[in-house]
Amino acid sequence: MSPKVPSSIRGPLLYDEVNREPYLALPYPHKNIRLTPPRLSDVESIVSILNDRRVYASLQGPPFPYKSDHAESWITLVKKTCDDVVVQLEAAPRPSEHQEGAGEDAFIVGGCPVRILRERKEDGSDVYLGDLGIDRHGFPLVVDEEEKARKTRENRDKSIGDPTIIWSFGDYLASSHHGRGIMTAAVRMLMEKWAIPHMNVRRIRAEVFTGNIASQRVFEKNGFKYLESLPDAVDLRFKDCGVTGLTSPEWSKSDSQ
């Protein structure tokens, strides 16, 4: 007998009976790539990827060198965030059979329960590829620290489903899988299948290094527009990587209509 599917498997989420966890599958030609929850066993893979110059040279946030304790702290944090969304899914009311549109599994939650990109192999094993997280925006391009803190606090304190929340994408992908269109497809899928219908997301920003053409193209292909930049906002360790600042592509629902 197959394990009982948890009540938190809703909307576009699928259920992996082997790992007993939810996932979102990317569309063709990337159907073997999934977004899954974080696992405590991911530490070694994260350390390896985030010490790869072809990856860390595109990231402003993570420390370098990236160590096991960094990965353990990060996994603990994001796992709790994903687990909290699962609790919200279990508590979200379901339409009754007497309600109009009862056939639709309509719900709004405050985040996404899956974010880790993995490649499912033919033997049933999977390989950690990277991360695609959607979180409330922290306004890293605001120079004044008090203003940044105020804007971040106001954005954080808005209620779940508030259409004025500004969201933010953070992502990286193992260099072994660069150039295949995986992140472009993952961003599109996460937006269309989850963030817009089930988080009521209406504005999303990302921060991309000026000169990082590959990352810029990911967001351009998904309808993001470049509205703001901050020259010279680059850690000194990146000065030899061909980047000179940060730029902030933004997507809004009104622009896409």
pLDDT, position 239: 55
Of 99 and 120, the structure prediction assigns the larger pLDDT to: 120
Residue written as token pair 């994001």: 78
Read off the pLDDT of residues 178-226 as tens digits, 9 standing for 90 and up: 999 999 999 999 999 999 999 999 999 998 887 788 888 999 999 999 8
Question: What are φ and ψ of residue 72, in 5° steps?
Answer: -65, -45
What letter represents residue 44's amino acid? E
Structure tokens at 19: 């790992």
Read off the pLDDT of residues 101-118 as tens digits, 9 standing for 90 and up: 444 578 999 999 999 999
Q: Work out the average pLDDT over 82-103.
A: 72
- CA dist 6 and 22 (Å) reads 9
Q: Which of 108, 92, 206 is nearest to 162 (CA)?
A: 108
pLDDT, position 116: 98
pLDDT, position 236: 46
Instruction: Say what percent of the chain tops pLDDT 90.
Output: 66
Of 56 and 46, the structure prediction assigns the larger pLDDT to: 46
pLDDT, position 98: 38
Classify residue 93 as left (phi > 0), alpha (psi -120 to 50) or beta: beta
pLDDT band at 2 (very low <50, low <70, confident <90, very high): low
pLDDT, position 253: 85
Q: Work out the average pLDDT over 123-127.
A: 92
Average pLDDT over all residues of the chain: 88
pLDDT, position 175: 96
- CA dist 93 and 89 (Å) reads 9
pLDDT band at 60 (very low <50, low <70, confident <90, very high): confident
Read off the pLDDT of residues 238-253 as tens digits, 9 standing for 90 and up: 555 555 677 888 999 8
Read off the pLDDT of residues 143-191 as tens digits, 9 standing for 90 and up: 889 999 999 999 999 999 999 999 999 999 999 999 999 999 999 999 9
- CA dist 166 and 154 (Å) reads 10
pLDDT, position 230: 63
Q: Work out the average pLDDT over 130-143.
A: 92
Question: What are φ and ψ of residue 144, in 5° steps?
Answer: -70, 120
pLDDT, position 1: 43
Delineate the domains of the chain, giving CATH numbers in brackets: 14-95+102-252 (3.40.630.30)
User: CA-CA distances (angstroms) from residue 94 to 33, 84, 161, 205?
Assistant: 29, 18, 16, 31
Of 61 and 72, the structure prediction assigns the larger pLDDT to: 72
pLDDT band at 235 (very low <50, low <70, confident <90, very high): low
pLDDT, position 31: 93
